Amino acid sequence: MWITLTGFMGSGKSSVARQLGADLGLPVVDLDAHIARQAGCSIAEIFAVEGEAEFRRRECAALEALDPRQELILDPGGGVIESGRARTSIVRGVVFWLDVRWDQVRSRLRGPEANRRPLVARLGWERLEALYHRRQRLYAQVADFRIASQDAGPSETARRVSLRLRSWQKAHRPQTERQGSDS
């Protein structure tokens, strides 16, 4: 089963995914890195040369090529919820939304990594903020859990995810297994 972390750019998905993978002993799939490897160029280059629609197509194809039964931590880009096809793939597992307030996202996106995010350069702050607010509804729609994470670093956020995950797994264990261990 996939344990997916969603949230806007700068919400800390990748650091939390790495921490969670180490804590739970599960592999982490960084979907952007996977797409870039397959394409043989960076995400910024895919946006510049092929356009965003082609990037979204690559994103969906990469998700659909993963085994849905494999236990893994999935770290997709923040725009994965833009496509209904990608949403269908991720909701098969359990989805955590790392929700960070806009003011904090904005200050994180101003950092040294800003150049690797094509939408930050292309949209500018006003349109990026509009995108953030539009996507909040989509993150809420796909998430099993919303983790408010603006006040916490990666290890504390990973701890909060693990706690929720444990109760979710307990509630979703097959009936036969539950009878065996709860009696």
Of residues 78, 87, 154, 161, which one binds ligand S3P by CB under 6 A?
Answer: 78
Polymer length of the chain: 183
Of residues 12, 21, 79, 154, which one binds ligand S3P by CB under 6 A?
Answer: 79
Q: Which is nearer to ligand S3P, 90 or 119 (CB)?
A: 119
Q: Which stretch binds ligand S3P (CB under 6 A): 18-26, 76-84, 100-108, 138-146?
A: 76-84
| Binding string, residues 30-69; x marks residues near ligand S3P by CB under 6 A | --x----------x--------------------------
Contacts of 70 (CB under 8 A, 6+ apart): 2
Of residues 26, 106, 118, 138, which one binds ligand S3P by CB under 6 A?
Answer: 118
**Helix, strand, coil proportions of the chain in percent (round to 5)?**
65, 10, 25
Using the rule CB under 6 A, is 21 a contact of ligand S3P?
A: no
Using the rule CB under 6 A, is 12 a contact of ligand S3P?
A: no
Tokens coding 35: 């797409």
Distance CA 136, CA 133 (A): 5
Selection from 32, 3, 17 nearest residue 154 by Cα: 17
Distance CA 86, CA 115 (A): 25
Of residues 16, 74, 95, 119, which one binds ligand S3P by CB under 6 A?
Answer: 119
Q: Where in 122-161 is the site for ligand S3P (CB under 6 A)?
A: none
Gap between the terminal Cα atoms of the chain: 26
- Chain residues in the site for ligand S3P (CB under 6 A): 9, 13, 32, 43, 77-79, 117-119
